[in-house]
Amino acid sequence: MSAHIVLAALMAAVCCALVVGAPVRAQALRPYTIVGDAIPASLTGAKGDPARGRAIVTNRNVGLCLLCHSGPFPDERFQGNMAPDLEGAGKRWSEGELRLRLVDARKLNPATIMPPYYVVDDMNRVVPSLRGKPILTAEQIEDVVAFLATLRE
């Protein structure tokens, strides 16, 4: 085969791979403004539901929070110890500070191991099924913020 045919075949394969492997964009992220160390305004314009937030925090298939964090969840076994205890989170941080930590904790600490839950760009090693999608929706972020804000003890 000539070099031109090999090059054309290679270029076609790369173009096909780019189209086939291109992420399907989820609904656009809602805009937010960082003020100091917080995102003061709700991502949805409404308060979240603390009960749904607790379910997200304790669910090992959705939020995955308890892989690293522990908290006042006596019914949950095998809680993490690599990140701050969630007990008292609502006393330590405002809703806006909690929101920024969930949306993208890298804005506060570029070396954090906490995943950015509401980011789709500048990500490394993203599983193909999540490319172009945030880990949590804006509504789920607000639910988790509402729940963590109740943890005042």
Residue 6 belongs to some domain of the structure: no
| pLDDT above 80 (res 144) | yes
Residue 4 belongs to some domain of the structure: no
Distance CA 152, CA 91 (A): 5
Averaged over 109-119, what is the pLDDT? 95
Angle 86-133-15 from CA coordinates, rounded to 5°:
150
Residue 8 belongs to some domain of the structure: no
Per-residue model confidence as pLDDT tens digits over 18-36: 333 333 345 689 999 999 9
Q: Work out the pLDDT band at 13, boundaries 50, 70, 90.
A: very low
pTM assigned to the model: 0.81
Residue 77 belongs to some domain of the structure: yes
Average per-residue pLDDT in the chain? 85
Residue 17 belongs to some domain of the structure: no
Distance CA 66, CA 57 (A): 7
Residue 14 belongs to some domain of the structure: no
Domain range enclosing 94:
28-150
Averaged over 105-116, what is the pLDDT? 96
| pLDDT above 80 (res 83) | yes
The CATH number assigned to the domain holding 53 equals 1.10.760.10
Residue 45 belongs to some domain of the structure: yes
Domain count, the chain: 1
pLDDT for the residue 27: 61
> Which one is predicted more confidently, 11 or 59?
59
Residue 9 belongs to some domain of the structure: no
SS3 123: coil
Per-residue model confidence as pLDDT tens digits over 122-143: 888 888 888 899 999 999 999 9
DSSP 8-state secondary structure symbol assigned to residue 128: G
